Structure 1
Amino acid sequence: MHRTGPGWTPRPTRGSWHRAAAALCALLLAAPHAQADDDAALAAYRGPPSGWPAAQIDPGVAFVELAPLPDTPRATPRQRAQAALGRALFADPRLSASGRIACASCHDPARGWSVDQPVALGIDGRRGRRNPPDLRQAGAHVPHGRWGWDGRGRTLAAQSLAPLTDPDEMGNASVQAVLARLQALPGPAARLTPASLGAALAAHVLQAGADASPTRYERFLRGERTALGPQELRGLHLFRTKARCVQCHHGPWLSDGLFHNLRLSSFGEPAEDRGRQRVSGRPEDTGAFRTPSLRRVAQSPPYLHNGLVASLEGVVRLYMRGGGEVWARNAAEAAQPLYPHAARLSPLIRPLDLSDDEQAALVAFLRTL
């Protein structure tokens, strides 16, 4: 007679005891070896990158090893003067039609060159659509020649001028309308052209990035191997391996400069943002946004193109679950030509299996960047 029921526990057989004992022994024997391998991997990070454990990279990814930022040539007196003019203009609300919004209103140096809300408020309190990026990282996009979350800007100067005529940002009818106001001012601002205005703002942005104090991560890469503690080194190892961060965030700027779909476009909803597709016109770019630089990422929450994730812990949880979701609520939405592209997750994104301790180590490392 076989007894079953909610409180019944089967009596183990001799064979099941042997199998359980063997499994426990194997686990106990493997644990010291796994810990030794982990300790050896972390110890390797105390040396130069050439001796680090191999990064875990998917086929086809043009991985570039983590490295210090490139040295910036010393600015000439003319370049310094141009950047100084750009700095004054960047903080001047007279660049907006209302006289109340400056570039620094949305890219506040005291808030990581961004805002502490998901989006910034422009002229007449109008809400922007995207989170303002930390402009100190603009140098990351110089090699690719595309600026902004969707790569709309072809030069940094042109991207710097774009907010001036955006109806939701600074609200000017034209750049010439801005110059007409500046002509009433004494000094070099009165002689600006559209090209020289954009160049001055761009020079300020690049100079701000060059003048930023080195982070602990930067000091570590430049040879100060004690700048990162054991937990942060473990986070670095996870960043390059199990957590898959370096699939997209690699090289000196921690960005591949490319566009990826994390299924965060809110496709079909009032907040829909098609990202790169609005610029390129290619259906396969629907929902794709640029990989941001992670340099100084801890200084500019909230995160992602829409600013909807408030903390680094939240970003890690998003990647743990394998990105966001795009779904069709009815047949009509499913039949939209762009829907399959919006719903197609980047092949570089997949769910992660990180323990609580591993997530904490990864976040600790991100805070050093």
Structure 2
Amino acid sequence: MLACGVLLVGHAAAQDDALPGSIQAQATVPDIAVLRQLYAGPAATWPRPRLGPGARFTEFAPLPDMPAPGTRAAALAAIGQRLFDDPALSASGQIACASCHNRELGLGDGLRTAFGHDRQRGRRNSLPLYTMAWMRPLFWDGRAVTLEEQALHPMLDPREMASSIPQVEAALHRDAQYREAFAALNGPRPITAADAGAALAAFERTLRPPRSIWTRVMAQGGKGTALLDDAQLRGLHLFRTKAGCAACHNGPLLSDQRFHNLGLTFYGRRLQDTGRYEVTGDPEDVGRFRTPSLLGLPRTAPYSHLGLFRSLANVVAFYNGGGGVERAEPQAGIPVPRKDPLIGKLDLTKAEQADLVAFLETL
């Protein structure tokens, strides 16, 4: 349905006013007793993050409550849940949304990139859907603004479900349960593909990230960091300071919901993917991809929009080395990609990398 994976963004350059008072970004992690003091209070009192050019930071927080669905929305979501698991909406009658978004696989599929119609391989890693109710825009390249719009894309994509509007509507009308359920909501009018999109969107709004150590910490406004062991707490501090991950992974979603080039465009090569540029045509967007949420992260391997990284240790090593390398020579009329200035070598030690992974595993 959606194609997305998980990336982390790091930045090596310090910001002079990054931390309040006398606490400044440090090249080494403070003694654990000092860290326990620094992170004992609510998140707003924690050491400020190490930011960089153009970063927009929102403090860590629990996800905002979503209002309970009304009677109509709940009924629509029930239809959407059935549609999510129903392969009848695909051209082959064999592929459903759940084919790439399996509840047992972190609402992803565990593959580098998904297989779709006629075993065609998709371009990008399947998105874990835990935070769909809050994320905007949608897809790696941001081509959909609403969940209703997003829901139709996979049905019509020739590599995914390879269906068409008439085929989708015909499948809905063939099924007596769909006819009755939609008639109860909309009256006797014909069911449209837009009705299916609305139902799927209503179901996706009910999805939530799994309960984790991090969600328990955030449920206490950040005051629950006693739940973190020493390695996890050191990793949290690195995430906010030396590793610079919080420059892009921040706020309740651990995502700034913006687009960044991490040096993985593969410009002029077999795996070339120009990302956001395909939507906007803006030369500045070549190779930029949306920052995904990190909630539920340990369940959603492999990582990156290409599914290149099998483990969180691989991801941390990638950023520690300064991300990918972009070619500087123009290729095939496409503007040269520019790696985000937030990406640079981090110089994390092996122990620091292990601590950062330990923290990421709490999310």
Shorter-chain-normalised TM-score: which range?
Answer: 0.7 to 0.9
> Is the 1:216–1:228 contact (alpha carbons within 8 Å) kept by the matching residues of 2?
yes
1:135 counterpart SS class? coil
Give the structure with the larger helix fraction.
1
Q: Distance in 2 between matches of 1:242 and 1:48?
A: 21
Report the CA distance between 1:35 and its aligned residue.
7.5
Q: Distance in 1 between matches of 2:29 and 2:362?
A: 25
**Alignment match, 2:317:** 317
Greater shift, 161-170 or 264-273, is seen at 264-273
- Structure having the higher Rg: 1
Q: Distance in 1 between matches of 2:321 and 2:134?
A: 28
Report the CA distance between 1:226 and its aligned residue.
2.9
Higher relative contact order (CA 8 A, sep 6+): 2
Residue identity (%): 45
2:334 pairs with one of 331, 338, 350: 338
**Alignment match, 2:187:** none
Instruction: Give the TM-score normalised by the residue count of structure 1.
Output: 0.84
**Alignment match, 1:139:** 133
**Alignment match, 2:91:** 97
Give the counterpart letter for 2:51 in structure 1.
I
Where do residues 72-111 of structure 1 align in structure 2 (5 Å cutoff)?
A: 72-111=66-105
- Residues matched between the structures, number: 324
1:104 counterpart SS class? helix
Report the CA distance between 1:137 and its aligned residue.
1.8
Question: Cα gap change, 1:226/1:104 in structure 2, threshold over 3 Å: closer, same or farther?
Answer: same
Give the counterpart letter for 2:98 in structure 1.
A
Give the counterpart letter for 1:154 in structure 2.
V
**Alignment match, 1:301:** 301
Superposed CA offset, 1:16-40 (max 9, x none): xxxxxxxxxxxxxxxxxx7865531
**Alignment match, 1:154:** 145
Question: Cα gap change, 1:272/1:189 in structure 2, threshold over 3 Å: closer, same or farther?
Answer: farther
Superposed CA offset, 1:31-86 (max 9, x none): xxx78655313332122113212221225422101111111212222222111111
Question: Cα gap change, 1:335/1:216 in structure 2, threshold over 3 Å: closer, same or farther?
Answer: closer
Q: Distance in 2 between matches of 1:82 and 1:334?
A: 49
> Is the 2:239–2:356 contact (alpha carbons within 8 Å) kept by the matching residues of 1?
yes
Where do residues 167-182 of structure 1 align in structure 2 (5 Å cutoff)?
A: 167-172=158-163, 174-182=164-172
> Is the 1:264–1:287 contact (alpha carbons within 8 Å) kept by the matching residues of 2?
yes
Give the counterpart letter for 1:249 in structure 2.
H
Report the CA distance between 1:125 and its aligned residue.
0.5
1:220 pairs with one of 199, 217, 220: 217
Greater shift, 34-43 or 357-366, is seen at 34-43
Give the counterpart letter for 1:164 in structure 2.
M
Greater shift, 184-193 or 319-328, is seen at 184-193
Report the CA distance between 1:186 and its aligned residue.
1.3
Superposed CA offset, 1:219-256 (max 9, x none): 11122443222211111111110111011100000111
Report the CA distance between 1:189 and its aligned residue.
4.6
Give the counterpart letter for 2:213 in structure 1.
R
Where do residues 129-278 of structure 1 align in structure 2 (5 Å cutoff)?
A: 129-141=123-135, 144=136, 146-172=137-163, 174-189=164-179, 191=182, 192-209=191-208, 212-223=209-220, 224-278=224-278
2:34 pairs with one of 33, 37, 40: 40
Give the counterpart letter for 1:218 in structure 2.
T
Q: Distance in 2 between matches of 1:65 and 1:258?
A: 16
2:131 counterpart SS class? helix
Give the counterpart letter for 2:215 in structure 1.
E
Q: Distance in 2 between matches of 1:60 and 1:107?
A: 33
Question: Cα gap change, 1:73/1:182 in structure 2, threshold over 3 Å: closer, same or farther?
Answer: same
Q: Distance in 2 between matches of 1:284 and 1:222?
A: 38
Q: Distance in 1 between matches of 2:266 and 2:149?
A: 28
**Alignment match, 1:17:** none
Report the CA distance between 1:206 and its aligned residue.
1.5
1:139 counterpart SS class? coil
Gaps of 5+ in 2: 1-27, 183-190
Greater shift, 312-321 or 74-83, is seen at 74-83
2:174 counterpart SS class? coil
Report the CA distance between 1:338 and its aligned residue.
3.2
**Alignment match, 1:347:** 341
> Is the 2:49–2:247 contact (alpha carbons within 8 Å) kept by the matching residues of 1?
no
1:51 pairs with one of 34, 40, 45: 45
